[in-house]
Amino acid sequence: MAKSTLSLPPVLLLLLLLLFLNSEESLKVANAQQADTWCIAKPSSSDAELTANINFSCDQVLDCGLIQEGGQCFLPNTLVHHASVVMNLYYKTMGKNYWNCDFRNSGLLSLTDPSHDSCTYV
């Protein structure tokens, strides 16, 4: 008596693999949203991207005094730092959804609190 074996077409195997990988990524995103996360600017972003992110975020959250001279997050006085502060404010204000940290692919989620000295990322 011959032993029967189950054989799946390669296309079906590929689809099952993609489905599994996609569900793994969804779980990672869901877990990241539940954990403490912060939105920061990618250090490789251009000055134009960072300036646009600052302008957009400040227009939305209306609390950019933090990055103005004398504000608790003014130092270090760099575009990437200032952008990170207000991008994070926007991200938190909008509900900590990963898509609220995209900023045309110039933002990234951090699992490490970027707060320093007197500058506290909320």
Q: Does some domain include residue 120?
A: no
Q: Does some domain include residue 22?
A: no
Specify the number of domains making up the chain. 1
Contact in structure between 80 and 41 (CB atoms under 8 Å): yes
d(CA 53, CA 58): 8
Q: Does some domain include residue 12?
A: no
Report field, pTM of the whole predicted structure over 0.85: no
Q: Could you tell me which residues come within 8 angstroms of residue 69 by beta carbon, excluding any fewer than 6 positions away? A: 77
Q: What pLDDT score does 89 carry?
A: 95
Q: Does some domain include residue 122?
A: no
Contact in structure between 96 and 35 (CB atoms under 8 Å): no
Q: Does some domain include residue 3?
A: no
Question: Which residues span the domain enclosing 83?
Answer: 36-110
Vertex 106: Cα angle to 89 and 78 (nearest 5): 65
Predicted confidence pLDDT, tens digits, the chain (122 residues): 555 555 656 665 555 555 666 555 554 555 555 579 999 999 999 999 999 999 999 999 877 999 999 999 999 999 999 999 999 999 999 999 999 999 999 999 999 999 999 999 98
| Residue 13: how many other CB atoms lie within 10 Å | 11
Q: Does some domain include residue 85?
A: yes
